[in-house]
Every structure is written in structure tokens, then in C-alpha cells.
Chain A
Amino acid sequence: MNRPEGKTLSELDRPNSYIGKTVPRPNLDRLLQGRGLYVSDIELPRMAHVVFVRSPHAHARVISIDTQGAKKKPGVVAVVTGEELAAVITPWVGVLSHMKGLKSAPQRAIATERVCWQGEAVVAVVASSRAAAEDAADCVTVEYEELEPVTDMRTALDPATPVIHASLGDNLAFERTFEAGAVDAAFAEADEVAEAEFVFGRHTGVTLEPRSVVADWNAAEERLTIYQGTQAPHMVQNIAALHLGLEEAQVRVVCKDVGGSFGIKVHIYADEMATYALSKHLKRPIKYVADRIESFNTDIHARDHRCKARIGVKRDGTITAFEIDDLTGIGPYSMYPRTSAIEANQVVNLVGGPYVTPNYRARARVVFQNKNVMCQYRAVGHPIACSITEGLVDLAAGRIGMDPVEIRRRNLFADDAYPCASAAGLRFELLSHHASLDRLLKMMNYDALRAEQAALRAKNIHRGIGIASFIEVTNPSAAFYGVGGAKISSQDGVAIRLDAQGAVVCQTSITEQGQGSESLTAQIVGSVLGVSMEKVRVILGDTDQTPYGGGTWASRGAGIGGEAALQAAKILRKNILDVAAAILQSTPAELDIANNAVVNANDGSPRIELRELARIVYFRPDTLPPGIQPELMATRHYVPRQYPFAFTNGVQASWLEVDTDTGFVKLLKHWVVEDCGTIINPQLVDEQIRGGVVQGLGAALFEKCIYDERGQLTNANMADYLVPMSGEMPDIDVGHVVSPTSESELGAKGAGEAGTAGAAAAVANAVNDALKPFGAVITEIPLTPQLILTALKRI
């Protein structure tokens, strides 16, 4: 592990440290043997299943609902309308006070008078099995009066377009403008100004396990237990309690194995709220598992942006200014409780972020439309900002005839410029753009690749190289949600205790969806305490058992939850050594813990096994000296305070081939260098990055929710909505530069978004690089064969 010069050895540099080591994640055999417990696997006594009758229209008035036929079907427990459920659960409005001017309309668990997107639930049918509920759902008759849908974000604000929520006055959910430096002067002094409209396909997370929830209201205990695959259990607890009229103490959220999340499962959906309410209403456990069509129609969508953007550049490569005008359509409601303004806000924050130019003007508008809701999905806003920024930089380089690497070298923040701030006001503690770029060029052998490209062009083989530098928001403080009034914790807590056999039980408020939260916690605790990892059992995902905290999202688990684990383990270590000193008639300073035993600090010779120490403490405290009260449990919480976000940086490169006859793109290789500070487990970091890259590659080439002009989603299945499969994906080489944050002792920043942040930008730049001989430039994703052939004027 590279630490900055002069930093003293810390708890992490102990001889038996797991920090910086690749070790397998604990408890993987459970998943490898099919013995996990996903919510879709859970069955409870008296459990009934709910399915939802959903609107076939994008916008319609509900005239009448006839549930009589459905109620007579075998196995039916209840058929419940929105009106009936409104007595159990209150509506919500997805706004945050720090998103100035953000507005939205009240949303209900089940629609009442009006439906606002195709797929909005209208009636809940509860039955003894899902099949019985589906049979009965077919017998519900809903009469609709179709209303004109608002589908095109470009005309959503036109006076002639209907206003979706009359009470809001217009279809504008949120607008932000920003200006820094002297933008007009900067464009005036530029030798070249390049501009383009960047268009991004609306896509979605496609978690392999659909959203699932089992809600169990125990009327005798007056307590609701929610089993849900969520990234933020305490947030779910707060929201469920708030809208069901309960105290938080009356709600327990349990999160076992989660079949993929990626931000899809960090929100609270209307059908989940309905399921909580139905359980309370019917006084029995209710299970809801979305089917795949429901997933496409109701899991949040993301990234549907159109952005007009321009860049000014001088002949010497100096970028003089960036300017963007971004437009996005978020569906009929701002999502709850994180809101649907964050993505556009992030785009404004992040465009131009790697570069020194102080001149930046931005406008972002967020409009309502009658499509499924959009909200935060992995790398929120990053891929858009990165594609715009890096697309513009390549356009500028093309205008002045400069190599894409060279123009970046001339404009990236220098590695010795920190601390500093971007034009948008983002504060950077320590980044490594140049070191990362150098590393990348070495890994990909850039000059040789350019030579190969030129040689192949002579043979009419069109390959392209695309580079994309990026910054990533990680370790968010309360600045993300807390300051806006959302009860979404930005701090995390870890409680650690030594059990009666000298093993360690660790409860953490971060959650696991496969990233390795359990592993990194055990690695940190094992390292600091001096116990082997397999002696550390990590408990997460249960609001009754873990400290209060935010969970795992926005690349915060390692940096925030990891630091809490480090600090809690330090306290427990001190407490153990205090007891050991008393038992051994020594002093804590003379002792250490290594390999599950208290040892002499000077020569490492064993003094007492932790197992024996625990035996004495728990069963023979009478033998301890008077006045000693051992505390073999310690709890610590952590939240970053100096910086609102710990920014990371990185750079990606794509090498691909475009078939100019068919328009198909073959990805040949992908490289990433990123800097997430202290690396706890290199393998886990690399796999986070690879997985993230492939999600970005899907966005670049395949993924798009295709709506027709009536607001109908036309490809809501996995055969028509294309996701990356193994056959089309390249091998991805990952390298690192390590610039730890000084704000925490651990020094870790996040890595969860890095791959997704820059992958699409690298691919788009590579495709345009390949098409350079044809004079074609494409600034739209996904880069479908049709789009490429159109650009080539072949169709």
C-alpha cells in the first residue's frame, strides 16, 4: 500500500494486517451452494401474495373499478383499491429542501383518480398464492378515460403541452443554473469552439433478482417486520413508520441476501409501500415479488438526458470554457425520498470536473412526463457528465489537430495542485489525474496501439481508441440528503464484541449486496484487533441488531462504514489490553494482540489466548483484581465532516473495432486506472470496477427503454431490452494509483461508481476515433448499428 511520505505507521500496518490483501469474502459458500436467503425465498406462516393490476395507459382518469368478480375467485384474500389503502398509508412528496425550487405532486401507494404512467398500480389483489392472485387480477375491471400523455421531454414545457399535475402549474420539476468565471470572454478568446448535442438512452438497472418484499405486521405486538432487499434498512424503517403512523421502534427491517441492487434498491417504491400497508391492513404477512415486466415498468429508470454543450479551446490546447444546457425527463413524480433532481444536479456539478478551466456555465432542467419514474442508479449523473465532458474534449482536440492524450495532459488538474476546487465548486482533497493517465498509457501501450490502428486502417479495418478521464463522488456526508431534510443517515456505526470463546461479533450498519461489505469489515476488524478473519462474524442488514446508519450506496461502505469499524476495533483492542494487563500484572503498553492471543509488544511472545481471557472475564470475573470492570464490547460511529464528498478520480480507455458495413461494434479491450485511496481488498475493488465498467458498456452499446409516443414501453422484457452478456464483453485491465484521504485513519474512498462513470464515454470516443476517416461524429448512446450506419450515411 502506498501511503504519502511522512505518514506514520497506523493500526493498519500491523504485521498480521489484512488491509491491502486479496482474501476471499467470508460466507461465499452459502451463495455458491444455492443456500442463500433472498427475499424471494422467504415464506412465513399465513403469508399471502399480492399482485397489482397496473395501468395499461400512460395517462388516464380512473372512471370505475369493479372488483366483485376478482373477490369470488378461489384463494383470494382481499382485493384492495387505492381509496381503501389510503386509510392505512399516507401519500408522500419527493422533494428535498436543498434542491431549491424542486417540486412534485403527492404520490400514493396505489393510484386513486388518475394514473400517470403505464405500469402504475391501480388495484392490489391478495391471494393464497401468486398464481391465484394473478388469476383473480385478470377479473378486475377498470374503466379508464385516456388523457393526453406527455412523453417528449423537449416539448414538456411548451404552453400547448398538457400540465400533468395542475396543482404544480407547469411540468418543470427543477431547474438549476450555474455560472463561474468569465464564460463569454473565454469563448471569445478561444481559437475554436466545438459544440454538440449529447443524447443518452433511458435505461434501467435490471437486477437479476427483481424487487421483493415480505411485510409482516404482527397485530398483537403492533410491530411490522419488513424483509426487503434494500441498500438502506434504516431509511426504509423511517419511511414505513412515517407513512403508516407508527414509531420507528415499531418497524424492523431485515435485509438478508440481495440479488443485485446498483441503486435500484435504494429507493422506496409505491408497490412496496402498498405491501407494507396491506400487511397492516390484513394483519398477516404479505409477499410481493415483481415479475420482469413489472421490473421494467416500475424499477427506476435513469439517464434520459439531452444536453447541448460546447467547449472553447485555444490552438495550444488550453480549454477556455465549458457550457451545457441539460434537459431530462423524470416521469410523473420525483422519486421518494431521494428525489429525481439529484441526477441533473450531479451533471451540473461534474461537467468539466477533471479540468482546470475556471469558466463554466450550466443550466439543467428536469421535467415531468408520463413515463416510469427516473431516479438515482449506479454512478448517478457521472456517466452523463463524463460523456459530455470527454466528448467535448475530443471534439476540441479534433478541431486543433491535437492528440486526445495531449489535450488532457494540458488541462487536467496537476497532481501537486491540491487541495483545490473545480469551476463548479467541488472541493478536491487529493487527486491523481496525471499519474493515473501515465499509468493507463503504459498499461495499454498507447503508442503501439496507435501504430496498430494506423496499420489496420490501411487494410480497411477501422479500430478506435477512446480515453475518458473522470472524477467520482464518494463518501457522501450529510450534504447529499440530510441537509435537505431527508431522514437518510450519512453516518455509520459499528459495534464489536469479544464473545465467550474469544471470537469477535461485529454489527455494522452498512449493508451487503455482493460488493464485499462483510469482507472489508472483517478484514479491518481482524487487522486492528489482531485476530484472524475467520474469527470475525459480521452481522448486517437488520435494524433491530445493527447500529443506526446509512447503509451501502454512493460508494460509502468502505470509506465510512470501514472507518467506523476501524475506530470501534481500536477501542475494543484497548479494552482487551486493559483487562489483559490486569490479568498478567503488566501494563497495556507492554502488550499487543496478534494471532488471537495477547502477546508481548516487544518480542511478540504469547501471553494469554483471547479465548482464555474471555473465559476469565465472562465466567471468573471474581478472579480479576478489584475495581476492574471489563468492557469487551465497543461501538463507534463515523461521518466525514471536513469534505462534503471524498472525490476520487480515474481514467478509462476503450479499444474497439467498428464494422462499417454492419454498424456493429466489437469491444476488444478496456483499461481502467482509478484512485480510491487506501485499498482494503484489491480483488474486491477490481471486481467492483469491472462490474461497473460492464454496466457502462451496456449503456454505451445496448441498453435503452424504448417508449412510443403514447408512453408505452415497447421493450419491457429481457429479450428486447439488451443487456451485456459474456460473449460481447471484453477483458478489462484495472490499475491503481493510491491517494488516501487524510480525513479518516483508514484513508479509503469509494470505488463503486468508477467503472460506470467513464465506460460509455471511452467507448463513444473510441467509436468516433474509428469513424474519423469517414468524418462521422456520434454523440448519442446506445451506439446501435442503426445509429452508426446512419452516421456513415449507409442507411
Chain B
Amino acid sequence: MTAPQAIALQVNGERVEAHVLPRINLADFLREHLKLTGTHVGCEHGVCGACTVRVNGEIVRSCLMLAVQANEAVVETIEGLSDSGEISDLQEAFRARNALQCGYCTPAMLITAQELLKVEAEPDRDQIREHLSGNYCRCTGYQAIVDAVEATAKARKNKAPRNRDAGRAP
């Protein structure tokens, strides 16, 4: 089975149809076919976390998933999450706290942090560190990232008493 396969999926709210080689992983499909270069490739073996995207609402490492497996799936990348405003407060907290230096891990770090904040309204620092522990950052030493996530959680809690509203843009 090496011939291109037809796939159809939703990416950042847009319907995408493509013919892809079965061996193409989702990260390469997003970057090379759809030119969504905000999804970064760091290790290509599922350790560094830089290629994290959302598939059907769950975060996945797009280097460990084949594009054909995303057939009929709903995929969200950093470009989509930025445009929708879903994580604008988190992005602003990262900016204010300088929780990024080179920025290569940042899109995936934001997506991973947002997942935590959706399920845990008030994570403590250890929980934040634990949740982000699959995303490698060589620049910051992590503390600024933990601070930014913690600050966002607090701000969301103060803004919206209900946990469910927390994901909305401020």
C-alpha cells in the first residue's frame, strides 16, 4: 500500500481534501502540503513535543500520527487557535512573562498548556510542570512558562467563575 490515498479532513475550520502517500505523517502533511509551518518538527520520534497539535479535541504528536489516520478528523494547529482567539490570553501571558526565547517549542507549549487549563481550572505549579513535561524547551528553563500558565489560570478564574467558560477569549 504505497499509492497515494485520498483523505478529507477539517483543518482549522476549513475542509481539506488531499491525496497523500500512506507514509506521510501528520506533521509533514500540515507543514509541507498545507504550509502550516507553525507546527514544528524537533525530534521526529515523539519525545520533544514540538509538533503537538489538536486532533478531534485531543492533543497529539503529529510526528507519530499518519496523515491518513487523520481522515475525517478535525485538526487544529497553532494558526487556527491563534486566529480563533481561543488562547489569546495565554499568548499574552507568555509575551508579558517572556515565556519564550527562540520560540520553536512555543506553539506546541501553548497547545499543551491550553489542554491543562481546560480540564484543571487552578493547577498548582507541580501540576503545570508535570503536564508540560513532555514538551522540551532548551531556552527558558521552564520557570517563565510555568509562571505564564499559572497567571493565565488565575486570570481566567477571576474573569469567569465557571470553569467551562475558561477557554474563551477575554
Contacts and interface: CB of A to CB of B under 8 A. Distances in A.
B100 interface: yes
Given A208-B136, A260-B139, A32 B104 contact: no
Contact of B104 (A131, A259, A515, A695): A259
Given A208-B105, A258-B102, A691-B140, A726 B132 contact: yes
A80 to B, nearest CB: 24
Interface in A185-225: 205-210
B142 A208 contact: no
Which applies to chain A's interface (DSSP): helix, strand, loop or mixed? Answer: loop
Given A691-B139, A726-B133, A34 B98 contact: no
Given A690-B141, A690-B143, A718-B48, A208 B98 contact: no
Given A32-B82, A694-B142, A208 B102 contact: yes
Contacts of B115: none
A292 interface: yes
A630 interface: no
Contacts of B43: 292, 717-718
Interface stretch (A23-31, A391-399, A583-591): A23-31
B138 A726 contact: no
Contact of B102 (A257, A695, A723): A257
A372 B140 CA distance: 27
B110 A718 contact: no
Interface stretch (A176-184, A278-286, A727-735): A727-735
Interface string B98-137: 1011111111001000000000000001001110111111
B145 interface: yes
Given A33-B82, A726-B135, A717 B101 contact: no
Contacts of B78: 33-34
Nearest to B99: A687
Contacts of B152: none
Given A36-B103, A719-B47, A725 B42 contact: no
Contacts of A755: 141
A727 B100 contact: no
A793 interface: no
Interface in A1-41: 24-25, 28-38, 40-41
Interface residues of B, number: 55
Given A32-B100, A262-B138, A209 B42 contact: yes
Contact of A691 (B129, B130, B141): B141
A388 to B, nearest CB: 24
Given A209-B104, A257-B103, A691-B140, A41 B37 contact: yes
A719 B138 contact: no
Nearest to B111: A34
Q: Which of B24, B43, B101 has most A Cβ within 10 Å?
A: B101
B152 to A, nearest CB: 13
A205 B102 CA distance: 14
Interface string A145-156: 000000000000
B44 interface: yes
A229 B14 CA distance: 32
A687 B101 contact: yes
B95 interface: yes
A612 interface: no
A723 B129 contact: no
Q: Which of A29, A30, A691, A717 has most B Cβ within 10 Å?
A: A691
Contact size range, A: 35 or more
Contacts of B41: 40
A515 B42 contact: no
Contacts of A690: 140-141, 143-144
A291 interface: yes
A162 interface: no
A128 B42 CA distance: 22
A516 B79 CA distance: 24
Given A514-B102, A687-B101, A726-B146, A209 B141 contact: no
Interface in A504-536: 513-516
Contact of A32 (B102, B103, B133): B103
Q: Which of A30, A40, A516, A725 has most B Cβ within 10 Å?
A: A725
B50 interface: yes
A691 B99 CA distance: 11
A722 B84 CA distance: 36
Contacts of A693: 141
A784 interface: no
Contacts of A692: 141
A341 B29 CA distance: 44
A250 interface: no
B106 A32 contact: yes
Nearest to A688: B101
A719 B143 CA distance: 23
B99 to A, nearest CB: 9
A729 B143 contact: yes
Given A38-B37, A208-B136, A723-B136, 11 more contacts: A28-B95, A33-B78, A34-B37, A34-B82, A41-B31, A131-B21, A209-B104, A292-B45, A719-B47, A724-B141, A731-B143
Closest 6 CB pairs of A and B: A34-B38, A31-B103, A514-B101, A259-B104, A34-B78, A694-B141
Interface of B: 21, 23-24, 31, 36-45, 47-48, 50, 77-79, 82, 91, 94-98, 100-107, 110, 125, 128-130, 132-146
10 contacts: A25-B98, A28-B95, A33-B82, A36-B103, A208-B137, A513-B102, A514-B139, A690-B140, A726-B135, A732-B143
